Structure 1
Amino acid sequence: MKSFKADYVFPVYADPIKNGIVTVDDSGKIIAVAATPHPDHVNFPTETLSGIIAPGFINTHCHTELSHLKDKVKPGGGLISFIQDIQTFRNIDKAEMLDAAQRADQQMYDNGIVAVADTANSNLTVAMKEKSKLYYHTFVEIFGFLPDRADELFEKAGLLADEFRPQSVSVTAHAPYSVSKELFKLIKHFSDGGNKNLLSIHNQECEDENKFYRYKLGGFIDMYRHFGINIDYFRPQARNSLQSVIPLLSNRQKILMVHNTCTNLKDIYFIKRFDRKINWCFCPNANVYIEKRLPKVELFVNQGLNITLGTDSLASNNGLSILSEMQTIQQKFSSISLQTLLEWGTKNGAEFLDIADTKGTIEVDKSPGLNLITGLDDLKLTPESKVRKLI
């Protein structure tokens, strides 16, 4: 048994505890959380720390198999240029790709992340995830904008998902601009059929995505021409991409909309009219890296929405740190409290991934991991804030 005492303990599910004490057993399971030591625990060794103690972070959007692309893609070129660069540099020696993925896994562990929702397009990371200290849910992602290939692509994705089992895995669509209506319908049918199939979809990362769906104009026309794909069949929908695909999504599964860089208030209100289990993931550092802009985060606050945080990949980020994502949000949106940011980076992600029985909050009998966060100013994150993994 061991106790940790800090300036504050943030259990996240409840108010912060000033001069709080967290006691854990040798396996990392929480034995007690309180402002004063339990009489039975007074003789346990206690480490007194300066800073706050928070649960381990949950990263709800990553691409570990793209880790070898760190510093390969020039920042600030926009999403369409980024996609083209990814396809150019994506495939190299498998051993090099796996080594980079393993280093990314270790980096997340060192940065206090305990669980990851990771997107995969191949079986590269199967063995890595089996051995990892982190919990992984893998989203096998389908691309396919040509209707006549829908059945083939869905079957292929199902076979890839089988390679990850018995790990937690599901089949999902990449994005509105890269998945045909027919393929969306196959995923919906599968998700509606009693299969547990969490969904994670890249959403409105750039203005061109909405322009493409509204008017069939913008950079995606050039992108498909660049890849030699004929999209003459596609008809503009006269509404934003998010509003166009919502009816094609299951109402029986939880859905994570990722990035939301160009999502507006009308989109949010539109979503609320539908019976869909929508969650929202922000990856601010990747948005700045790719598009040089942030989502309108303030529009989502106080809407009763389940918001989570992700890092995206090392192709679009300088590191894999949920604390860094929170710092970027805090710097731009100073009114958002540390308690709220921690909810986004811990509890909400655990709830989305259905692992809240063990992770996401500091509660007795859970094993959420413990992080020490330092370098705060009046319980606000600063550029000097750092995270140290305690357990």
Structure 2
Amino acid sequence: MNYRKFQADHLFTGFEWFSNDSVLITSPGGEIVDLVPAAEAGEGITRVSGILSPGFVNCHCHLELSHMKGIIPENTGMVDFLVRVIQQRGFDAPIIKKAIEEGENSMLQNGIVAVGDICNTPNTVDQKKAGRLLYHNFIETMGFIENSAAQRFEASLAVYDQFARLYRTPAESVSIVPHAPYSVSPALFQMITRFPGNQLLTIHSQESTAEREFIEKGTGDLHRLYEALHIDISFYKPAKNGSLPSYLSHFLPNQSLILVHNTNTNSHDLEYVASGELPVANLYFCLCPNANLYIGNPLPDIDLLRQYRAVIVVGTDSLASNHQLSILAELQTIHRHFPHIEKVELLQWATLNGAEALQLDNVLGSFEPGKKPGVIVVKEDFSKVERLL
């Protein structure tokens, strides 16, 4: 076998720095064979400058919105952003298809090997048939009116079926998931969480102060969203037990959940998470800082999340709310605002943690024999990433 051999200034395994003298050995197809001292590696070593790392995992993306790049101006605020996405996402099919292809190409070029992708339509099915990236497809559904739950769920199930045909074991790669706590009724939550095989889910969570105000008080700026959608929400009664507990209660003990954005997550929420009373098996906190800044939301209190030992992962959100689909660009933003966080920790969020969150850590996320995690090299100042395998 013609092994591939790589050595860099630094080597990150997915969870720790490894000896700088080490050489990573892979099969020609990228399967990890071993990590050995350079003296034992033999000839044919490719030496690169920077940090050798497993490929990045993008835990939150909306690839189907790639055609909306630059359409929505920055700093609109959450409500106006949502209204504009709903009103302006309609484009001709060839434009949408081309933008999806370009979006996937950019993720490949930016060292991304797997994606948790939000799907409201089957528009990305054809692109994903090629298998260039690993995807977990989160079929998103929404409907805040109880009597529309069955109709809304059936529409999402039709999308689910089109993605399910791509996989031998659909439950491992496709889920039906709720959009956000303010857009899904209790009846629809129940249909989602009890759908057979639905063990990995995600939800837009605590993305703005308006969301918390509405969930806990029934007031605030989200009322403009319902007015724009011509939805009468006079029936709504605020949650008595707080924002996060109120909607986590819909999920089940065998389910893992990725909470996305978390810009308004506070110590009371995290005390609840740390209490051991969670209804779910695993909880992950996904950061999409560049989208937060684009929309005009604050960044999450990342130090608070770390203080409570939250399991952190990273996403890009969509090109409707970001300038690029690059996990490295997200790490750059986090590093700029939280320079005290060590790079080894940031890299773990973007590799092994992400792989675990998407339940792909048996093949991705770390340099361990038998895995095919991709091989990238990241400049030490986080300025550039290059895909090697």
Query: TM-score band (shorter)?
Result: over 0.9
The C-alpha deviation readout for 1:70-89, integer Å capped at 9, x for no partner, is: 00001111110100110121
Q: Counterpart amino acid of 2:339?
A: S
User: Aligned partners of 1:338, 1:33: CA distance in 2, in Å?
Assistant: 21
User: Distance between the aligned counterparts of 1:246 and 1:134, measured in 2?
Assistant: 30
CA 1:37–1:94 in structure 2 vs 1: closer, same or farther (change >3 Å)? farther
Q: Where does residue 93 of structure 1 map in the other structure?
A: 92
**Equivalent residue for 1:299?**
304
Q: Name the residue aligned to 2:223.
A: 221
Asked if residue 371 in structure 1 is aligned to residue 369 in structure 2, the reply is no
Between the aligned partners of 1:188 and 1:356, the Cα distance in structure 2 is 23
Q: Please, what TM-score do these two structures have when normalized by structure 2?
A: 0.94
Q: What is the one-letter code of the residue matched to 1:265?
A: S
The residue type paired with residue 365 of structure 1 is G
Q: Distance in 1 between matches of 2:300 and 2:16?
A: 28
1:30 partner letter: I
Partner residue in 1 for 2:388: 390
In the TM superposition, what are the counterparts of 1:19-98 in structure 2 within 5 Å? Answer: 19-38=21-40, 41-43=41-43, 45-98=44-97
Q: Secondary structure at the match of 1:31?
A: strand
Indicate the SS of the match to 2:129. Answer: helix
Inter-partner Cα distance in structure 1 for 2:239 and 2:150: 23
Alignment of 1:1-391 (within 5 A): 1-38=3-40, 41-43=41-43, 45-165=44-164, 166-167=166-167, 168-190=173-195, 195-272=197-274, 273-276=277-280, 277-376=282-381, 381=382, 385-391=383-389
CA contact (8 A) 1:61 1:258 kept: yes
Q: Which moved more, 1:218-227 or 1:56-65?
A: 218-227
Per mean C-alpha deviation after superposition, the further-off stretch among 113-122 and 351-360 is 351-360
Q: Which 5+ residue runs of structure 1 have no aligned equivalent?
A: none
Native 8 Å contact 1:372 1:388 kept in 2:
yes
For residue 15 of structure 1, report the CA deviation from its aligned partner.
3.4
For residues 220-242 of structure 1, give each alpha carbon's deviation from its aligned partner in whole angstroms, at most 9, with x where no partner exists: 11210111111111111245432
Conserved 8 A contact 2:251-2:279 = no
Partners of 1:249 and 1:24 in 2: CA distance: 40
Moved over 3 A (4+): none
Kept in 1: contact 2:10–2:50 (CA 8 A): yes
More off after superposition, 357-366 vs 198-207: 357-366
Comparing 120-129 with 230-239, greater Cα deviation is found at: 230-239
Task: Provide the secondary structure at the position in 1 that maps to 2:76.
Answer: coil
- The one-letter code sitting in structure 2 at the alignment partner of 1:199 is L
* Deviates most, 111-120 or 162-171: 162-171
What does residue 170 of structure 2 align with? none
CA shift digits 1:166-206 (9 cap, x unpaired): 4311000000011111111222222xx5x243111000111
Q: Deviations over 1:273-301 (max 9, x none)?
A: 32322111000100111124201011111
Give, as a single letter, the amino acid of the residue that structure 2 aligns with 1:205: E
Secondary structure of 1:137's aligned partner: strand
> Unmatched 5+ residue regions in structure 2?
168-172
Q: Is the 8 A contact 2:212 2:243 kept in 1?
A: yes
How far apart are 1:216 and its partner, in Å?
1.1
Give me the whole-angstrom Cα distance separating, in 1, the residues matched to 2:76 and 2:155.
32
Contact kept, 8 Å, 1:10 with 1:17, in 2: the verdict is no
Q: How far 1:37 sits from its partner (Å)?
A: 4.2
Report the more deviating stretch, 227-236 or 11-20: 11-20
Please tell me the residue identity of whatever aligns with 1:334. Answer: P
Q: Percent identity?
A: 36
Paired with 1:318 and 1:120, the residues of 2 have a C-alpha distance of 20
Measure the CA separation in 2 of the matches of 1:21 and 1:103.
34
Cα distance in 1 for residues equivalent to 2:268 and 2:297: 23
Q: Is the 8 A contact 1:68 1:96 kept in 2?
A: yes
* Post-superposition offset of 1:375: 4.2
CA RMSD of aligned residues (A): 1.4
In 2: Cα distance, 1:240 partner to 1:314 partner: 32
Cα distance change of structure 1 residues 196 and 178 upon mapping to structure 2, 3 Å threshold:
closer
Instruction: Tell me, yes or no, if the aligned pair for 1:76 and 1:290 is still in contact at 8 Å.
Output: yes
Distance, in Å, in 1 between the alignment partners of 2:52 and 2:260 is: 28
- The CA distance in 2 between the partners of 1:19 and 1:320, in whole Å, is 33
**How far, CA to CA, are the matches of 1:241 and 1:96 in structure 2?**
39
1: distance between equivalents of 2:253 and 2:93? 38
